[in-house]
A and B are shown apart, each in its own frame.
Chain A
């Protein structure tokens, strides 16, 4: 058991983390290639940078949006996101892990902060899950994987919380710890291939959309030829 745990925490951790980083880098790369191609094809090169930045900025600090619509839901999903990012990075046990795995370290979060943040994250995840299940419109829109993701994200948080705060005896501790580590690693691997890819792609959306409205010129002929419509009336 101990050896397995060491393996999961050591080489497996590095491997899955590398998969995540490379996978996300690939997505970013593809996105940038796409944007570059699009940019080259347009004649109108003037981008509305001011608008793009201010819109993107609004979503990094979504205060303005939250006070507008769906307050509770929005607030809790923000808490959820903060927890998802902060706890894995700044909980002191994780900081040590990062130090061993990638060789850099940074200050850890005070214990009590991590404690409350984890509770908030779990609570908000449960809330999101329940609203997906109960609000009619949300249920209509949700796919199976939307529920599964919430459940999957809950696993490392719940197990980690128990390991850090409850005395469960060494045997169960190791099992829980293993589940904790493995589930987190599963998440790493899945991120680049799922909707969670938005963690790196979303910041580019405003640029992508602004660019998309800049259509390449003189496509009329090409499209008509391809579709055998040349000279046809409108």
Chain B
């Protein structure tokens, strides 16, 4: 098995931490990410209590029971994991990581384990084991690529998710994520980036002005329109950082004339719950649903964001009414559909650079959105190349599982997490890398910078915006508007 072992220098850089020793000492936790100050006493007992509470009110018992009976340690998963491939450290093997939690379960929650523990008197959960889990569960990017390679079908991403959930209940969770979630659920502005409504409206107006100048067509961001077909929730950070993607989306809707709206009651698609807590998932997902109902929208439309799309798609039915829940659509699905119906025209002479498509894990791993964006891209990008492996088997950008939002682990993400991705991008020789996910975009841009790659990372709708051709009738309107303006 080949492993790309890092050079000593790279390893040092990747594993470096900016944490002060006294903080590590005070928090009794030697991990790369920052955590808030929390109770450090009696961690093992509290961990087990949280574990027990979660088991009682969830379905995890079924999975754990299923897998403690048969994990075989065959090591196939190792070849799939980009973290292990980069570090070559056995501790980064997916099966090893999942094994940590399975062992705790076996020892403390099964009859055999409890008996054995009684008799031998050892094996009780220790601070060291919790420390190891706190470290390794956040090294994983929860990309779930290893789940495809496990012959026994163990979904390591699920186990990582559960491990992080339990840890978060005893306060071990990256500060960056909790702070954002707090702003979203309890803050005055109800979103992770703390953007107030007036600022949002200003931004939208500003973008509308820009688009009019560039395209000569009135492209709008409808706000609070009751009864729209789609209520739109992007990753809220897009309003600050991904203007082009948003403009592309607005342009598509202008071209098709379908109704959509942004709700000022709640406009954030981000759901960090997916990365560390089912309780948070539920709270956030309900907000999305409430806002859609308030506006009498018929569909929930999620922007270019992998985890937001997957959480909405997967958990709106879970938490908001099962089969009667409001349908969830991702913007790529929408754009693909209208393009197929012939309602979206794209100019094939605009994008001439070499373009490659990066599959966000949360779209592709379950074969949800794989071919749709490719079909569209191939139709108007003359020079489209494919990276290998792609689609369902893609390699994660290296910033999945929420790690991209943890700024202090950037060296880790760009040297270890994104190592394989960087090699893959380099090999493809692309000049434009399309990554239709807010997380991937941020991580890939940092990767490009830190690894000195030669490409530009853009969103899918950035390119659509460039190449879109508007109907003449919209232009007529434009002239009318110009006249109006002159008056």
Contact = CB atoms under 8 A, between A and B. Distances in A.
Interface of A: 27, 30-31, 34-35, 37-38, 41-46, 48, 51, 55-56, 59, 62, 65, 68-70, 73-74, 77, 135-138, 140-143, 146, 195-198, 201-202, 204-206, 208-209, 211-220, 222-224, 226-227, 229, 233-234
B79 A69 contact: yes
B53 A215 contact: no
Contacts of B312: none
Contacts of B129: none
Given A219-B278, A234-B178, A234-B280, A212 B70 contact: no
Interface residues on B, range: 35 or more
A3 B123 CA distance: 46
B321 interface: yes
B93 A142 contact: no
B283 interface: yes
Given A208-B63, A219-B278, A142 B186 contact: no
Given A38-B62, A137-B93, A214-B59, A70 B1 contact: yes
B interface, by DSSP: helix, strand, loop or mixed?
Answer: helix
B65 A197 contact: no
B431 interface: no
Contacts, number: 178
Contacts of A135: 1, 75
Contacts of B322: 43-46
Contacts of A42: 59, 318
Nearest to B314: A213
Contact of A212 (B76, B155, B280, B367): B155
A212 B156 CA distance: 12
B147 interface: yes
Interface in B273-311: 278-283
Given A205-B152, A223-B53, A234 B186 contact: yes
Given A141-B90, A209-B153, A227 B49 contact: yes
Contact of A74 (B76, B96, B185, B314): B76
Given A212-B60, A219-B282, A140 B96 contact: yes
Nearest to B112: A193
Shortest beta-carbon contacts, A-B, top 10: A205-B153, A140-B90, A34-B62, A198-B70, A44-B317, A38-B59, A43-B322, A69-B79, A226-B53, A219-B57
Interface string B1-27: 100000000000000000000000000
